[in-house]
């Protein structure tokens, strides 16, 4: 019998959050929302804030804020993880197990697993473990907590304990500001007429 040599060690991927998805590039946040998310990311949230629940229609910036919160946490030396729940539907327990020790967990698209009991139980358990360990969870969904078709009352109760932030769609001036900021990051100066045309 010959000894087998181990294969090459698996290296973790050094994934980075998109540079456009930072707090300074977010337009139209409710008052105090960015400061609260930044404090949570740094582990300096006010006492009693263990989780944040973002909700709003499509294209209101929920994913932007989740990724910005993760990037801020990592910049502060904390472990952050972003999980799009739609991609994990039906196997949320397994997906969450991989992020068990993250200081900050950002869960996007809660609507995608609402009504799936096993996934809801996995979220409920993960929420409780995070709270007991002093870690934080940020959720995002299109619907407010009370409108989600959840089947697990205990999960709804935990989500209702989160600080809830409603995001509204941008008006024309807000969309113009987004265009201006994105152009500036690419070294472009757009005239107001060009922004109005776009």
Mapping DSSP to helix (H, G, I), strand (E, B) and coil, where does residue 141 land? strand
pTM of the complete model: 0.85
Which pLDDT tens digit goes with each residue over 126-155?
Answer: 999 999 999 999 999 999 999 999 999 999
**Residue owning tokens 């629940």:** 53
Phi-psi sector, 120: left (phi>0), alpha (psi -120 to 50), beta: alpha
Q: Render pLDDT for 7-63 as a digit per residue (tens, 0 to 9).
A: 444 434 445 667 778 899 898 899 999 999 999 999 998 888 879 999 999 999 999
């Amino acid at each position: 019998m010959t000894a087998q040599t181990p294969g090459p060690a698996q290296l973790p991927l050094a994934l980075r959050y998109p540079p456009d998805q930072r707090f300074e590039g977010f337009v139209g946040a409710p008052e105090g929302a960015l400061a609260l998310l930044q404090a949570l990311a740094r582990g300096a949230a006010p006492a009693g804030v263990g989780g944040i629940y973002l909700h709003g229609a499509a294209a209101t910036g929920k994913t932007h804020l989740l990724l910005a919160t993760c990037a801020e946490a990592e910049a502060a030396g904390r472990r952050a993880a972003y999980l799009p729940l739609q991609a994990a539907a039906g196997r949320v327990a397994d997906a969450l197990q991989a992020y068990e020790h993250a200081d900050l967990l950002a869960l996007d698209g809660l609507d995608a697993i609402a009504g799936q009991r096993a996934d809801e139980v996995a979220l409920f358990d993960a929420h409780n473990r995070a709270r007991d360990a002093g870690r934080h969870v940020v959720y995002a969904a299109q619907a407010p907590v009370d409108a989600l078709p959840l089947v697990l009352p205990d999960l709804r109760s935990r989500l209702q304990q989160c600080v809830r932030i409603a995001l509204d769609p941008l008006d024309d001036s807000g969309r113009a500001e987004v265009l201006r900021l994105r152009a500036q990051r690419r070294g472009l100066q757009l005239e107001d007429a060009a922004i109005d045309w776009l």
